[in-house]
């Protein structure tokens, strides 16, 4: 494993998202002097928050899994997760709602989940579910230490018995076929393959190794941070500040000063210069800031999304915390999304209503509702469509989303909206996210593991490391928190397990 050479006493972290906060906690715990520079008014990055009229709307991630990775980051400065965050395990991780009118509640408890599956799909599928959940847990244990939670400098780093085990278990086949061989019921096939979109690829293109994404939410279960997802970066930033990390909010970085192959300082937009022995950059397109760093040669970006966040004066009884609402169409809509550059004609939606669990997020009689609809990104090389005029499309697409919600059981939403926030691919592009997607580089085979940009690039300054969605290990809350630790280890040296 490669490390930053030379002195690394003073470190500047660019970005106070989850990756930057994770890196800052690790670095401070290892005794470094750490300054975090964030252009926004507070911590969070993509995990944004809008508060209005008594409603708290999370505008970034809505599903929180693997809290142990956040606990691990906090422990670096001697903090305990339970002292900083109140977490509520969800008995029902998701409600899967299907186009035929049936639904399936996905429980964290495998016995309860199997009972639901048996009632809906029959005993043979319930038995298949139990076998598959065991297989998922084994697959995750096989992959996490060797392929996911680890800095990789070369494909040769993967050589070993774990690679052969993964290959023998079909990990390099297609996810869709992997799931189809386990289940006969099409509803279960969809339930265990839609997660490929979290990795930015269609289930028909994703490698079977990405079945492990389902282990994080379906196998291990989902939790809710009281106060919303935005409470997570606030907790991490609070712990870091109490440990002595200096935060500069509302401040952008103008440039990095160089001397030879090293960055010597970070120049802020107001002209102040922060001396630096090492720099952690968490921006989505780091090559636009870091001298000599090249962007990916032929990048493939994930699809984007439209995210509609609502505060509604309606009870919406019987709704689940998270609902996956599947349309009738399936393979066709992935072609629309990743090949044809068109919004899904019959979309599958992730609908989150965290106020069902956490009443602090909405006033009496109200609910917080977030709807995420996958859409093409803005990069034609990635199957996206730069010609989609989202400024003109947004009002019409909003109406279509509301009509779809109403038709799928969320009746009365349209007439009860009190607070609203809408993000489109154009929003993400304006925030500096490549290809107008918040999901960064897709996890194609050529952008996975050692083929994904590393935390310590071989080109560019020798003392700049990278963290975030666009580098190893990848996209998603657990992954970006891991990336912060991996970036810190490039500076401090690997911490023994």
| pLDDT tens digits along 461-481 | 999 999 999 999 988 899 999
What CA–CA distance (Å, rounded) separates 107 from 63? 15
The β-bridge relationship of strands 262-268 and 253-259 is: antiparallel
Most distant CA atoms of the chain, gap in Å: 68
Instruction: Give the sheet arrangement for strand 273-275, strand by strand.
Output: 253-259, 262-268, 273-275
Per-residue pLDDT band at 175 (split at 50, 70, 90): confident
| pLDDT tens digits along 296-309 | 888 999 999 999 99
Determine the pLDDT at residue 497: 47
Mean per-residue pLDDT for 345-349? 89
Determine the pLDDT at residue 21: 98
What CA–CA distance (Å, rounded) separates 300 from 379? 8
Does the predicted TM-score (pTM) go above 0.85?
yes
CA nearest to 478, candidates 130, 70, 51, 38: 70
Residue 473: asked if its preceding bond is cis (omega within 30°), the reply is yes
CA nearest to 444, candidates 413, 475, 467, 421: 475
CA nearest to 203, candidates 193, 213, 211: 193
Per-residue pLDDT band at 457 (split at 50, 70, 90): very high
Collect all residues with Cβ–Cβ distance below 8 Å to 239 and sequence separation of at least 6. 25, 74, 77, 79, 84
| pLDDT tens digits along 355-397 | 999 999 999 999 999 999 999 999 998 889 999 999 999 999 9
What CA–CA distance (Å, rounded) separates 255 from 117? 55
Higher pLDDT, 195 or 40: 40
Per-residue pLDDT band at 122 (split at 50, 70, 90): very high
Which string of DSSP letters, residue by residue, matches 275-310?
Answer: E-SEEEE--SSGGGTSTTPPPPSS--BPPEEEEEEE
What CA–CA distance (Å, rounded) separates 346 from 352? 19
What CA–CA distance (Å, rounded) separates 224 from 226? 6
Mean per-residue pLDDT for 2-26? 96
Q: What is the mean pLDDT of the chain?
A: 91
Burial bucket for residue 410 (CB in 10 Å: 0-12, 13-18, 19+): buried
Collect all residues with Cβ–Cβ distance below 8 Å to 119 and sequence separation of at least 6. none
Domains of the chain from N-terminus onward = 10-86+227-298+441-492 (3.50.50.60), 109-215 (no CATH), 301-436 (no CATH)
Report whether 128 contacts 182 (CB < 8 A).
Answer: yes
Collect all residues with Cβ–Cβ distance below 8 Å to 25 and sequence separation of at least 6. 73, 74, 76, 77, 236, 239, 240, 243, 245, 484
Report whether 3 contacts 491 (CB < 8 A).
Answer: yes
What CA–CA distance (Å, rounded) separates 90 from 37? 35
C-alpha distances (whole Å) from 237 to each of 177, 231, 259, 282, 361 are 42, 10, 31, 15, 21
């Amino acid at each position: 494993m490669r490390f930053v050479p030379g002195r690394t006493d003073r470190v500047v972290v660019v970005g106070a998202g989850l990756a930057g906060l994770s890196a800052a906690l690790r670095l401070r715990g290892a005794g470094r002097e750490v300054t975090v520079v964030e252009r926004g008014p507070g911590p969070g990055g993509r995990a944004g928050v809008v508060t209005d009229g008594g409603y708290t709307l999370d505008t970034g991630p809505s599903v929180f899994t693997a809290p142990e990775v956040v606990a691990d980051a906090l422990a670096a400065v001697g903090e305990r997760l339970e002292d900083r965050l109140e977490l509520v395990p969800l008995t029902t991780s998701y409600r899967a709602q299907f186009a035929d009118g049936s639904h399936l509640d996905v429980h964290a408890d495998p016995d309860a989940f199997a009972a639901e599956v048996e009632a809906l799909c029959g005993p043979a599928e319930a038995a298949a579910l139990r076998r598959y959940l065991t297989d998922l847990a084994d697959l995750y244990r096989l992959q996490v230490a060797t392929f996911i939670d680890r800095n990789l400098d070369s494909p040769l780093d993967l050589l070993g018995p774990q690679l052969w085990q993964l290959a023998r278990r079909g990990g390099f086949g297609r996810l869709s076929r992997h799931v189809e061989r386990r289940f006969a019921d099409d509803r279960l096939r969809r339930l265990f393959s839609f997660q490929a979109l979290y990795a930015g690829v269609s289930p028909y293109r994703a490698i079977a190794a990405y079945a492990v994404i389902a282990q994080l939410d379906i196998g291990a279960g989902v939790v809710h941070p009281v106060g919303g997802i935005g409470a997570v970066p606030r907790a991490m930033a609070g712990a870091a500040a109490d440990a002595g990390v200096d935060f500069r909010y509302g401040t952008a970085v103008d440039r990095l000063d160089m001397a030879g192959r090293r960055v010597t300082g970070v120049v802020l937009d107001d002209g102040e210069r922060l001396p630096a022995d090492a720099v952690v950059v968490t921006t989505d397109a780091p090559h636009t800031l870091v001298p000599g760093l090249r962007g990916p040669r032929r990048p493939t970006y994930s699809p984007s999304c439209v995210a509609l966040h609502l505060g509604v004066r309606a009870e919406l009884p019987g709704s689940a915390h998270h609902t996956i609402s599947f349309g009738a169409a399936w393979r066709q809509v992935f072609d629309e999304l990743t090949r044809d550059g068109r919004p899904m004609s019959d979309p599958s939606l992730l609908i989150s209503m965290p106020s069902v669990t956490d009443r602090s997020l909405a006033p009496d009689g109200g609910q917080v509702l977030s709807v995420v609809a996958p859409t093409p990104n803005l990069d034609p090389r990635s199957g996206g469509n730069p010609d989609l005029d989202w400024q003109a499309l947004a009002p019409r697409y909003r109406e279509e989303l509301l009509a779809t919600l109403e038709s799928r059981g969320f009746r009365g939403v349209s007439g009860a909206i009190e607070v609203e926030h809408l993000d489109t691919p154009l929003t993400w592009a304006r925030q500096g996210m490549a290809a107008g997607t918040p999901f960064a580089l897709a996890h194609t085979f050529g952008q996975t593991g050692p083929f994904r940009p590393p935390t310590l690039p071989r080109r560019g300054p020798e003392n700049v490391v990278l963290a975030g969605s666009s580098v190893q290990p990848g996209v998603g809350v657990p992954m970006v928190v891991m990336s912060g630790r991996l970036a810190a280890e490039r500076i401090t040296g690997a911490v023994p397990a």
